[in-house]
Amino acid sequence: MTMRAPATDLPIVLDNVTVRAGALDILDRASLLVGDGQPTVLIGPNGSGKTTLLRVAMGLLSPTLGRVTWGGRELSPPVRRAIVFQRPVMLRRSGADNIRYAMRVAKIPRAEWDARLHELLSLVGLAEMADRPARRMSGGEQQRLALARALARDPAVLFLDEPTASLDPAATKALEDVVRAVAARGIKVVMSTHDLGEARRLAGEIVLLHRGRVIETAPAAAFFASPRTEEARKFTAGELLI
Ligand SMILES: Nc1ncnc2c1ncn2[C@@H]1O[C@H](COP(=O)(O)OP(=O)(O)OP(=O)(O)O)[C@@H](O)[C@H]1O
Ligand SMILES: [Mg+2]
């Protein structure tokens, strides 16, 4: 498969981004630089702004104030990006057909379909289930299928919004293994989770959000070993951050 290293869509830079909904700033002057390398993981409690920040970084939502650039460009979100939403919706067709559909939409040449389909299904461990109706698959299987479908587009940047939120430990491990494999291929992963363990296992860099603010950004090792802020200290100690 021709999965190339990220080129021009990085870095993704948020400069003082505010997203206002009514009287509330659901993102409050958030600044962030997402470069290449290991996954960038957004953590924070429910409602802290993770999904909103992802949507802004993907170019699906425009800031009320501030600006976002992709590889230095404004107003032109990444083309080679793919997204897996928290509750992916599958077509009422087989797993394989869901992936074929994504390849058609992404205009992947037909000559490459079979090889790519085969590789993606094995990557996510669904080779045996390719012909099953996607909507009959378990939650964990559908999450992995959603990931394969996203990868079918040959993205340089992959956004994942709480990809393991409702999965059990075995399904979580399976999905995390795929994320690691994807990152090892040079695809930039930007994901959210409210699972600290997952952040520890996957992150190159951690971004802690609280009430719409970017509280702390740090390499994962440093973040867990010596959190700089009170919020990060609480969060890493497993105390409730409300
Ligand atoms: N369009 C909107 N209008 C009003 N409020 C909104 C809108 N979108 C999001 N919010 C609010 O903004 C806050 C941040 O939402 P967001 O979905 O980004 O949080 P989150 O960190 O992803 O939470 P979770 O962990 O529950 O997924 C929440 O309080 C949410 O209710
Ligand atoms: Mg969310």
Q: Which residue has the higher pLDDT, 238 or 177?
A: 177
Contact by Cβ (8 Å): 34, 188: yes
Q: Which amino acids bring their CB within 6 angstroms of ligand 1?
A: 21, 26, 44, 46-52, 194
Q: Which residue is closest in CA terms to ligand 1's atom 26?
A: 46
Contact by Cβ (8 Å): 68, 31: no
- ∠ CA 162-94-125, rounded to 5°: 55
Residues 147, 145: Cα–Cα separation, whole Å: 5
* CATH for 1-80+158-242, options being 1.10.10.10, 3.40.190.10, 2.120.10.80, 3.40.50.300: 3.40.50.300
Question: Could you give the residue range(s) of every CATH 3.40.50.300 domain in the chain?
Answer: 1-80+158-242
Contact by Cβ (8 Å): 199, 211: no
> From the CA of 54, how far away is ligand 1's center (Å)?
11
pLDDT tens per residue across span 50-67? 999 999 999 999 999 999
Which atom of ligand 1 sits closest to the CA of residue 192?
22
pLDDT at 28: 98
User: 31 to each of 16, 57, 141, 206, 209, how far by Cα in Å?
Assistant: 5, 11, 35, 14, 11
pLDDT tens per residue across span 150-173? 999 999 999 999 999 888 999 899
Residues 64, 241: Cα–Cα separation, whole Å: 27
Query: Residue 184 pLDDT > 90, yes or no?
Result: yes
> From the CA of 199, how far away is ligand 2's center (Å)?
15
* Mean pLDDT along residues 212-218: 97
Residue 9's pLDDT band (boundaries 50, 70, 90)? confident
Residue 6's pLDDT band (boundaries 50, 70, 90)? very low
pTM of the model: 0.93
> From the CA of 48, how far away is ligand 1's center (Å)?
7
> From the CA of 45, how far away is ligand 2's center (Å)?
9
